[in-house]
Amino acid sequence: MKHCTRCLYPDTKPDLSFDSEGVCSACNSFDLRKIVDWDKREKGFKDIVWQHKSKDYDCIVPVSGGKDSTYQVIKLKQLGFNPLAVTACTDSLTPLGRRNLDNIRTLGVDHIEVATNPVIRRKINRIALENIGDISWPEHVAIFTIPVRIAAQLGVKLIVWGECPQNEYGGPAADNKTLDRKWLEEFGGLLGLRVSDLVGQDGISEKDLIQYQYPQDVSGVTGVFLGHYFPWDGLENFIVASAHGFECKPIPVEGSLACYENLDNYQTGIHDYFKYLKFGFGRATDIACNHIRRGRLTRASALEMVKAHDGQFPARCHGRPLEEIIAEIGVDRKQFDRIVKRFRNKKVFAEC
Ligand SMILES: [Zn+2]
C-alpha cells in the first residue's frame, strides 16, 4: 500500500487519485478551498433557496441527528430560512442517537421521521452484509431516497444535504454542488447492489422496497451540498452543534478517534470494520486525515493514533456485544467470522 505524502490515505481507497508529488485528491480538493470566494458562495446559496422556496417550507434538510445535520439546521435557521427536517430512521438506534434526534426539533423546526419496515430492513442488512460486505447498505440508500420522496410528496423544491463526500474524502466530481439520481447511482456508495436485485430474495417483494426507491417524478426538485457553499469542518460543526444541545460520548467511539460522530447506530462499528477489511483503512484514518489537512495533527502523531485505533475488531459497538447486534439480523458469530474472512483483502493484509 502506498500512502498520500501529506495525509494517511492509501492508494487502496476507491476513486482516490494522486498527483506527481504523491499528494491525494482529497488533500488537493481541500487546498482549493483556500482560493474560494466564500462570500460569493454564501450569496449563491441564499439565491438558490430564494429561487426554490415553496409555499410552506423553504427546503428540506435531511437529518440523522448527528453533529453535521444539527449544524445544517442551525445554519439554515441563522440564515433566516424555514427548513423541514426529515429523518430516514437508522438501523439500530442508540439512546444517545435518540436524544440527539429529539434535540433537532428544539432548534425550532418541524421534523418528520420515516421508519421503514424493520422485518424487511433486517433482511436487507443481512443480504447486504453477506453479498457486498456492507451491513449499512439499506441505511445508505434510504437516507438518500426518503428525503427526496418527501420533497416530491410535499411539493418542496430544494433539499440541502451536508458535505460533498467526494470533496471531503477525495474522488471524482469533487466540485459537484448538486445531488440527484445520477449522483446517487454513480457516487452514492451502492457497491453494485441495486434495489431491484433484492426482489425475490428471502421473500422480499417489490412492495417491501417502496421507501428505497428513488421517486419517478422529481421534476423541479434540486439537491445541493451545504459544504459547497460554506467551509465544511466536522469538528467545527460539532462545536457549533454542542452549543445547541448536541450530545457526544465521553470517550471516542470504538475503532475511531472521535467522540462526536457515528453515535446513533449500533451497526456502524461493523460497517467501518468491513471498510478496513476491504481497503486496509478505517474511520480513524478518515478523521486523522481531516485533522492533518486542517493543521490540527501532524502526520507522524496521526499515524501513531491510527495504528492504535484503526481496524479494531468490533467486539462491542457503543458498549453492546457484537453477537447481540448481529443476532438482530439473523447472523451468528460463526457466520459472521466466515463473512469477515471472505471480505478480508488478501492483497492488503498479506503485505502487512
Ligand atoms: Zn492526502
Report pLDDT digits (tens) over 162-220: 988 878 787 776 666 776 777 777 766 677 888 989 999 999 999 999 999 988 888 78
E strands in 186-268? 222-225
Summarised one tens digit per residue, pLDDT across range 296-331 is: 999 999 999 999 999 999 999 999 999 999 999 999
With cut-offs at 50, 70 and 90, classify the pLDDT of residue 105.
very high
Measured in Å, residue 293 CA sits from the centre of ligand 1 at 8
Averaged pLDDT, 39-67: 95
According to the model, what pLDDT value does residue 351 have?
Answer: 55
Alpha carbons 158 and 143: distance in angstroms, whole number: 16
pLDDT at 82 over 70: yes
Residue 18 per-residue DSSP state: B
According to the model, what pLDDT value does residue 332 have?
Answer: 98
Measured in Å, residue 24 CA sits from the centre of ligand 1 at 4
According to the model, what pLDDT value does residue 182 have?
Answer: 74
Measured in Å, residue 242 CA sits from the centre of ligand 1 at 29
Measured in Å, residue 288 CA sits from the centre of ligand 1 at 11
Measured in Å, residue 61 CA sits from the centre of ligand 1 at 30
Measured in Å, residue 282 CA sits from the centre of ligand 1 at 15
With cut-offs at 50, 70 and 90, classify the pLDDT of residue 336.
very high
Return the percent helix, strand and coil in the chain, to nearest 5: 50, 10, 40
How many of the other CB atoms lie within 10 Å of CB of 315?
11
Q: How far apart are the first and last CA of the chain?
A: 9
Measured in Å, residue 300 CA sits from the centre of ligand 1 at 14
- Annotate 59-96 with DSSP letters as a single string: EEEE--SSHHHHHHHHHHHHTT--EEEEEE--SSB-HH
Q: Which of 48-57, 212-221, 223-232, 266-275 has the lowest mean pLDDT?
A: 212-221
According to the model, what pLDDT value does residue 189 have?
Answer: 63
Between these two residues, 163 and 248, which has the higher pLDDT value?
Answer: 248
With cut-offs at 50, 70 and 90, classify the pLDDT of residue 350.
confident
Measured in Å, residue 26 CA sits from the centre of ligand 1 at 6
Measured in Å, residue 255 CA sits from the centre of ligand 1 at 21
Averaged pLDDT, 12-38: 94
Measured in Å, residue 264 CA sits from the centre of ligand 1 at 28
Measured in Å, residue 291 CA sits from the centre of ligand 1 at 11
pLDDT at 255 over 60: yes
According to the model, what pLDDT value does residue 343 have?
Answer: 97
Measured in Å, residue 23 CA sits from the centre of ligand 1 at 5
Which 3 state secondary structure label does DSSP give 120?
Answer: helix
Measured in Å, residue 313 CA sits from the centre of ligand 1 at 25
Computed on alpha carbons and rounded to an integer, the radius of gyration of the chain in Å comes to 20
pLDDT at 117 over 90: yes
The stretches of 90-177 forming alpha helices (DSSP H) are 95-106, 118-132, 137-154, 165-169
Alpha carbons 322 and 56: distance in angstroms, whole number: 44
Measured in Å, residue 251 CA sits from the centre of ligand 1 at 27
Measured in Å, residue 99 CA sits from the centre of ligand 1 at 35
